[in-house]
Amino acid sequence: MKVLTTTGLALLLLLLLAGGVFISLTHGSWDVSYGRIFDIILSRFGIMSKVDVSPVEMAIIWDGRLPRVLTAALVGFSLAVAGAVMQGIFKNPMASPGVIGISSGAALGAVVAIYLGLSAIFPQALPLMAIVGALLTLMTVYMIATSGGRTSIATLLLAGIALNLILGAVTSFVITLSTKEFDIGRVIVTWLMGDLNNRLWSHVEIVAVTTLVALVLIFGFVRELNILMLGEDEATNLGVDVGRVRNILLLAASIMTGGAIAVAGVIGFVGLVAPHMVRAVIGPDNRRLIPLAGLLGAVFLVYADLWVRLYIPVDLKVGVLTSLLGGPFFIWQIVRYRNRFEYI
């Protein structure tokens, strides 16, 4: 029995997201009142030119906290949507960008861009390399798992685990090389933990563009994704070009994952947890599931970042917290679905 309607869940998530954003903007080492937030933002656009806003307040809110919280929301949204799409494509509750290796591929691409100094010369190099890494990893996993035109879900997950290990080893090798340059090595290690410190408007622009492009692709084929969940044979009989639809949706999920990782580093388990929680409430229809899972992912990461920023006495990275929360959930999923697995 559904506890919430789709509209009710959407309103609840929007209220939680708005609350998280306002708390993030008003609380910190320099507290700012809620009303002052509106004054600062409106004066930035010249709407309230008579309002006296100090340069310090403008820098704290407009240049510091607002880009950070928007980046958190967009990254959480992107990862959750990518996870929902992959779970729909593969009809597997444990499919997500992190589990099948796409996150590791995107991370390696971004690490190489940082190590070679490409991101300092050409700011767009980081997201481009992350997306390329995600796509190459996806293609590799897909080729390993596909035989005779059919893709084995079990093989895909195993290939993802293997590539996670390989790509993690290569990333560690790049980190070893970077230790000769202390600043570069520190940036890479911090970034791999999943970091939202010092996010700028350029980061917001990057993840906003990748999210928008991917959403256009996804919602162009969301009906076909629902049909695809019935099975490849049924989808083919209903006129769906299974290979084309699956490839386009996987491309969109890779773009979303690459863009998110490029600006925030490796954020684990958001793409696994959020779709499950929403699916349990409103069902598997991707026309509703995808946007609501995205909203829950945004809420989750905004509050996780708020927690590590305000309540953790050490500089804990948000990616560490999401992994600590998501890891037990993943284990619970394995136990929950273990009767569906094949045993020798």
Largest CA distance in the chain: 75
Domain ranges in the chain? 6-29+66-337
> Nearest Cα to 196, choosing from 307, 278, 98?
307
How many C-beta atoms lie closer than 10 Å to residue 284's C-beta?
A: 15
Separation between Cα atoms, residue 208 and residue 68, nearest integer Å: 13
Residue 151: strand, helix, or coil: strand
Read off the tokens for 105: 């591929």
Q: What is the DSSP letter of 143?
A: H
What pLDDT is stored for residue 3 in this prediction? 54
What pLDDT is stored for residue 176 in this prediction? 86
What pLDDT is stored for residue 83 in this prediction? 93
Global confidence as pTM: 0.89
C-alpha gyration radius of the chain:
21
CATH topology of domain 6-29+66-337: ABC transporter involved in vitamin B12 uptake, BtuC (1.10.3470)
Residue 179: strand, helix, or coil: coil
What pLDDT is stored for residue 344 in this prediction? 41
Strands (E) across 61-203 are located at: 146-147, 150-151
Q: What is the pLDDT of residues 199-213, one digit of tens each?
A: 989 899 999 999 999
What pLDDT is stored for residue 51 in this prediction? 65
Residue 281, amino acid: V
What pLDDT is stored for residue 49 in this prediction? 57
What pLDDT is stored for residue 269 in this prediction? 85
What pLDDT is stored for residue 342 in this prediction? 47
Separation between Cα atoms, residue 292 and residue 296, nearest integer Å: 6
Q: What is the pLDDT of residues 130-154, one digit of tens each?
A: 889 988 998 898 888 877 767 677 7
- What is the mean pLDDT of each successive set of 10 residues along the chain, which is 344 residues long? 75 96 89 82 72 80 93 96 90 77 89 86 84 89 79 78 91 84 78 87 93 96 92 86 87 91 88 88 92 96 92 82 82 69 45
How many C-beta atoms lie closer than 10 Å to residue 185's C-beta?
A: 18
